[in-house]
Amino acid sequence: MLGKLIYENLQKYGFPYPIDKHICSSWAKDIPKQSSTILYTSCMYQTASLSEIYSKFIPYAEKLSAFSFLGKYIKPKKEELDRAYKILNRIVQLLKRNGIEFGYLYEEEPYSGAILLELGFLDEFSAYAKSVYKFFKEKGIKRIITVDPHTHNALTRYQEFIDKMDIEVVNYLELIKDAKAISDITFVVHDSCLYSRFLNLRDKYREIIEKSGIKTIEDELVTGNDTAFCCGSPIKPINPELSDKIAKARVQQLTKLSNNILVVCPMCYANLSKHHENIKDLTEVIE
Amino acid sequence: MNQEWDIAIQRTINNNVPRVSKILKEHQYILELAKKLREAKLKILSNLEEYIEQTLESVKRTGGNAYFVKDPSEARELVGKIVGKGKIVVFGKSMVAYELGIRKYLAQLGNEVWETDLGEFLIQLADEPPSHIIAPAIHMTKERVAKLLKEKLGFDVSENSTHEELVQKVREFLRNKFLSANVGITGANAVAADVGSIVLVENEGNIRMSTVVPPVHIAIVGVEKIVPTLEDALNEALVQAAYAGLYPPTYINVTSGPSSTGDIEMKRVSPAHGPKEFHLILVDNGRIKASKDEILREALLCIRCGRCHLHCPVYRVLDGMWGDAPYTGPMGAMWSYIIYGDGKPATYCTHSGNCKEVCPMKINIPKVLEYIKYLENKKQS
């Protein structure tokens, strides 16, 4: 059973599939390890490009019993990793410029459990969330700053499974009050489904975009709050073909408005990038 | 993607989505009615069996016949007994009748059966499953419709025929069927528990004809369509029409038992000009079980406006074939589980969340689908 396998991998590797944890933490320098407030990446930006590869192994996962051998060989491409690291460092700079202090757990940083939640393995998610929460409490963490929608969603839903959860979860987009555009390129925004329709953060990042001076092209049937398509990423582990069809259709819709696509989620970037080159994360176009 | 589907669905979205937004902006009382309707329906769903009893009694008081059936075979047997053989039967569009396989069963018994809703009529001619809950032939372009009418019925139409010309040809063909029909079969948008009336909202006039012209009218309705009062039932018709994008609706039909008159000495007698028999068949087929589950119960609030379909990326890229007919799209992924026990459609949900944003009943569809995934995962472990 897939849920059980992912859960076991989380125990063994601290991630849904085997991975060299250096990949997750090597981006960070000069961030204190001890702090009651932490920046929490859940290794999402760093590994987004691997989801494509691992989703292909899922149909055979149970036969292979574990992916342990894969972790040694499968790594993100250097340019993808460099880009992810650059994005995370820009988030650090943006937060610091806005006066926010925080630490980072480096290789001790656990995964959020988002994939269990999104695939409907709620019992496994509940057990895993409890263990992660316990770890955070033992570390004296009181406030977590998330940097992607899937992690933010998973953490905000911990409270459904944990009695009296008393760790504050905030997204970096809520903390940036001041940022400006670094070029005059006009974009079409591909909204994050979770930020927009589950986490009430659509206005936050759209406000940052608007205030920064970035110009965007809108069309009610393409970028409206109730019409904007998903990138297809969440369905990838279940049906990669369907995921790809959605990504392709989404790129077709967006590029009718602009050749420059702006995203706020590493998974959206990874899935849409298969069909289009000019995609930027918000943090790559503001400072 | 299938090219014909892509053209057809894009035209549909362009025609429908902005129109629904405009309707809701211009008639804001609809939002209040929808809120009130959700409360009324939740009241029923928390005590469904008692309201089923009340509804059956209320229909009998109006001089109608009322039945409760548990599953498709009971439903088919009952409808078969009422209709008999060698009759002409007109269907005024009922997705529950499709769910139960009524049309094909009556044809097997030796009846001449005709769907009269234009979309359903096209589906019947093509012998294809419906692709949308209220616009079942949404996957066909105008050009395909012309080809189908020419091939199956020999109509003098071409790919250059206008929408109006195609509709006119079907009108000519079906008019005679209405007038010669022995039985009319419909669904219902809502059933009022207090007085036993059914309410049907439509635009074509086919439902009005099917419920009034033939001497026998059978309404086949899922038990979740029961609402406490006739006021709630009329509200449901208004809300459904607005969210479906055709507002005001051309017709709202109320049927309370067989036709009657009190014009001679004010003595009420039945029948008069309309049907002499009215039969209401309330269908369970998994609905009562779902009503007892706090999360699945939400799915039963669906009023079949079909709005969620047009906002869903999965429905769009799967060429309208997401879910088990007639239940497609986001609502269909929930209903495929409730009716057919099929949890696979739920696993395809990408939780884009557009469906919950546009649902008039505020059903958190991704949440229900997450729960179905969970139940399926548990079953497999």
Residue A61 pLDDT > 70: no
CB B103 within 8 A of CB B113: yes
Question: What's residue B1's pLDDT?
Answer: 54
Confidence tier at A4 by pLDDT (50, 70, 90): confident
- Assign residue B317 a region: left if phi > 0, alpha if psi is -120 to 50, beta otherwise? alpha
Q: CA distances (Å), A14 to each of A35, A80, A130, A265, in order? A: 21, 22, 14, 22
Q: What is the pLDDT of residue A75?
A: 83
Per-residue pLDDT, A33: 95
* Long-range pairs, A22-25, Cβ under 8 A, ≥24: A22/A107, A23/A47, A23/A75, A23/A76, A23/A81, A24/A107, A24/A109, A25/A104, A25/A106, A25/A107, A25/A109
Contact A193 B352 (CB under 8 A): yes
> To the nearest whole percent, how much of chain B has pLDDT over 90?
94
Cβ-in-10-Å burial (0-12, 13-18, 19+) of B95 comes to buried
Q: Is pLDDT of A122 > 60?
A: yes
The H-or-E segment that residue B45 falls in is: helix B29-45
Supply the pLDDT for residue A50. 85
Question: CB-based contacts of B298: which residues, under 8 Å, 6+ apart?
Answer: B363, B364, B367, B368
Q: For residue A14, what pLDDT is reported?
A: 84
Q: Please list, in sequence order, all residues whose beta carbon lies within 8 angstroms of the beta carbon of residue A196, skipping any fewer than 6 positions away.
A: A202, A225, A228, B353
Q: pLDDT per residue over B140-172, tens digit each?
A: 999 999 999 999 999 999 999 999 999 999 999
Q: What is the pLDDT of residues B280-328, one digit of tens each?
A: 999 999 999 999 999 999 999 999 999 999 999 999 999 889 999 999 9
Average pLDDT on A120-134 reads 96
Q: Given a cut of 80, is residue B8 above it in pLDDT?
A: yes
Measured between beta carbons, which residues in chain B are less than 8 angstroms from residue A197? 352-354, 356-357
Cα distance between residue B371 and residue B373, in whole Å: 5
Q: How many residues are recorded in chain B?
A: 381
> Average pLDDT of A3-20?
84
A249 with B317: Cβ contact below 8 A = yes
Contact A228 B354 (CB under 8 A): yes
Inter-chain residue contact B17 with A221, CB threshold 8 Å: yes
Min distance A245 CA to chain B CA atoms (Å) = 6
d(C-alpha B278, C-alpha B186), whole Å: 11
**Tens digit of pLDDT for each residue in B356-366?**
999 999 999 99
pLDDT above 70 (res A69): no
CA distance A230 to chain B (A): 5
CA atoms within 13 A on the CB side of B169: 20
Whether residue B355 contacts residue B330, with contact meaning beta carbons closer than 8 Å, is answered with: yes
Give B 182-221 residues with CB within 8 A of chain A.
Answer: none
Interface test with A, best of B5, B24, B350, B362 (most A CBs within 10 A): B350
Which of A193, A220, A246 is opposite residue B351, by nearest beta carbon? A193
A226: chain B residues, CB-CB within 8 Å: 311, 354, 357-358
User: Average model confidence (pLDDT) for chain A?
Assistant: 93
Predicted local confidence at residue B320, as pLDDT: 87
How close is the nearest chain B Cα to the Cα of A93, in Å? 31
Nearest chain B residue to A233 by CA distance is B350
- Nearest one of A243, A225, A188, A263 to B313, comparing CA atoms: A243
A interface test, pick of B24, B370, B377, B379 with most A CB neighbours within 10 Å:
B377
Does position A66 have pLDDT exceeding 90, yes or no? no
What are phi and psi for residue A27, nearest 5 degrees?
Answer: -70, -25
pLDDT class for A54, splitting at 50, 70, 90?
confident
Partners of B351 on chain A (C-beta within 8 Å) are 118, 193-194, 198, 230, 234
Dihedral (Cα; B89, B94, B96, B98), 10-degree rounding: 60
**What pLDDT score does A62 carry?**
60
**Percent of chain A predicted with pLDDT > 70:** 94
| CA angle in degrees (0–180, nearest 5) for A241-A242-A243 | 90
Position B370, amino acid: E
The bridge status of strand B216-222 relative to strand B183-186 is parallel
B351 touches chain A (CB under 8 A): yes
Structure tokens at B277: 């028999």
pLDDT tens-digit series, residues A105-118? 999 999 999 999 99
pLDDT of residue A3: 83
Tokens of B268: 């009420």
Q: What is the mean pLDDT of residues B14-37?
A: 97
* pLDDT greater than 80 at residue B10: yes
Residue A216 has φ and ψ, to the nearest 5°, of: -125, 155
**B374 shares contact with chain A (CB less than 8 Å):** yes
pLDDT at A18 over 90: no
Rounded to a whole number, what is the largest CA-CA distance in chain A?
Answer: 52
Q: Is B18 on the interface with A (CB under 8 A)?
A: yes
- Amino acid letter, B130: P
Confidence of residue A13 (pLDDT cuts 50, 70, 90): confident
State the DSSP string of chain A. -HHHHHHHHHHHHSSSS---HHHHHTT--S--S--SEEEE-TTHHHHGGGHHHHHHHGGGHHHH---TTHHHH----HHHHHHHHHHHHHHHHHHHHTT---B--GGGPPP--HHHHHTT-HHHHHHHHHHHHHHHHHTT--EEEE-SHHHHHHHHTGGGTSTT---EEEEHHHH-----BSS--EEEE---HHHHHTSS-HHHHHHHHHHHT-EE---HHHHSTTTPPP-SGGGTTT-HHHHHHHHHHHHHHHHTT-S-EEES-HHHHHHHTTT-S-EEEGGGTB-
Q: pLDDT: is A83 or A8 the higher one? A: A83
Q: What one-character-per-residue DSSP string does B74-115 give? A: HHHHHHHHHH-SS-EEEE---HHHHHHTHHHHHHHTT-EEEE
- Phi and psi at residue A124, to the nearest 5°: -65, -40
The answer to whether residues B4 and B144 touch, using CB atoms and an 8 Å cutoff, is: yes
Residues of A in contact with B350 (CB under 8 A): 193, 230, 232-235, 243, 246
pLDDT for A49 equals 86
On chain A, the residues whose CB falls within 8 A of the CB of B357 are: 197, 225-226
**Between chain A and chain B, how many beta carbons pairs sit less than 8 Å apart?**
91
Does residue B207 carry a pLDDT above 80? yes
**B28 and A CB contact within 8 Å:** no
A67 pLDDT band (50/70/90 cuts)? low
**Residues on chain B touching A245 (C-beta within 8 angstroms):** 1, 317
Sign of CA dihedral B76, B81, B87, B92: negative
Residue A70 pLDDT exceeds 70:
no
Mutation for A interface: B317, B349, B367, B369, most A CBs within 10 A: B317
* B127 dihedral zone (left: phi>0; alpha: psi -120 to 50; beta): left
User: Minimal Cα distance from B378: which residue of A?
Assistant: A121
Inter-chain residue contact A119 with B377, CB threshold 8 Å: yes
Taking 90 as the threshold, does the pLDDT of residue A51 lie above it? Answer: no
pLDDT band (50, 70, 90) for residue A6? confident
- Nearest in space to B217 (alpha carbons), one of B200, B241, B240: B200
pLDDT at B84 over 60: yes
| Contact status of B358 with chain A (Cβ, < 8 Å) | yes
Binning pLDDT at 50, 70 and 90, where does residue B381 land?
confident
> Does the pLDDT at position A65 exceed 60?
no
pLDDT at A68 over 70: no
Can you tell me the mean pLDDT for A38-55? 89
Confidence grade of residue A63 (pLDDT, cut at 50, 70, 90)? low
What pLDDT, on the 0 to 100 scale, is given for residue B123? Answer: 93
* Residues A185, A265: Cα–Cα separation, whole Å: 20
Tens digit of each residue's pLDDT (9 = 90 or more) over B326-351: 999 999 999 999 999 999 999 999 99
**Record: contact B313-A122, CB cut-off 8 A:** no
Asked if the Cβ–Cβ distance from A197 to B372 is below 8 Å, we say no
Q: Name the band, by pLDDT with cuts 50, 70 and 90, for residue B380.
A: confident
Percent of chain B scored above 70 by pLDDT?
A: 100
The predicted-structure confidence for B249-293, as pLDDT tens digits, reads as follows 999 999 999 999 999 999 999 999 999 999 999 999 999 999 999
Nearest Cα to Cα of residue A47 among A76, A71, A5, A13: A76
Chain A residues lying within 8 Å of B349, measured CB to CB:
235
Residue from A5, A123, A197 whose CB has the most chain B CBs within 10 Å, to mutate? A197
pLDDT given at position A71 = 63
Residues 6+ away with beta carbon under 8 Å from B242: B20, B23, B24, B27, B30, B360
